Structure 1
Amino acid sequence: MSERDELLTPKQVYAEYGFSPQTLANWRWMDMGPDYIKQTPGKGGRIKYKRSAIEAWLESVTVKTGGAAA
């Protein structure tokens, strides 16, 4: 696994990108936000995010200025 594909916990995502663990949980529930990995089954399963998935998601939701209205 490359450094870019480092696995981050929701707390690490919060520390680096500012999205709280609760926001990430809400996004998962609403089937939106960055792709994630569920490492264990069930409601309390451990969640991790690939850094590359977060970066790709951020790029996909970035609104380009000077283009069509958002």
Structure 2
Amino acid sequence: MSPVDRYLTPREVADILGVTPKTLGNWRVLGKGPRWVLLGKLHGPVRYPASAVTAYMATRDSRSSHDVGSAPVQDAPARRRRLKRPRIQGI
């Protein structure tokens, strides 16, 4: 984060990421989402450095709809085929 980094409000970040501010709050509790800072004392306003939001979006880059929710993007392992069990005929 540079000393002249712009700080975004939760509403601005929510609009950028396409989620609600409540979701951002949940992510903060769970340790997910972009890095954030607390301005002032314990109950000060939450802000997100613009560079942190940009970095978070870069880690969420997906190649297909199958990749959504997995970060960072990695090559998927080869998919194993499931073998069919032989059917047992009635006696």
Q: Structure 2-normalised TM-score?
A: 0.59
Matches within 5 A, 1:1-70: 1=4, 5-42=5-42, 44-65=43-64, 67-68=75-76
Instruction: Give the fraction of aligned pairs with identical amino acids, expressed as a percent.
Output: 31
Displacement of 1:23: 0.7
Deviations 1:9-58 (A, max 9, x none): 0111123332211111000000111001110222x320111111111011
- Which structure would you say has the larger RCO, counting Cα contacts within 8 Å and 6 or more residues apart? 1
> What residue ranges of structure 1 are gaps of 5+ in the alignment?
none
Q: Between Structure 1 and Structure 2, whose CA radius of gyration is higher?
A: 2
* Whole-angstrom CA distance in 1 between matches of 2:44 and 2:62: 33
Instruction: Tell me the matched-pair count.
Output: 65
> What residue ranges of structure 2 are gaps of 5+ in the alignment?
65-73, 78-91
Q: Where is the helix percentage greater, Structure 1 or Structure 2?
A: 1
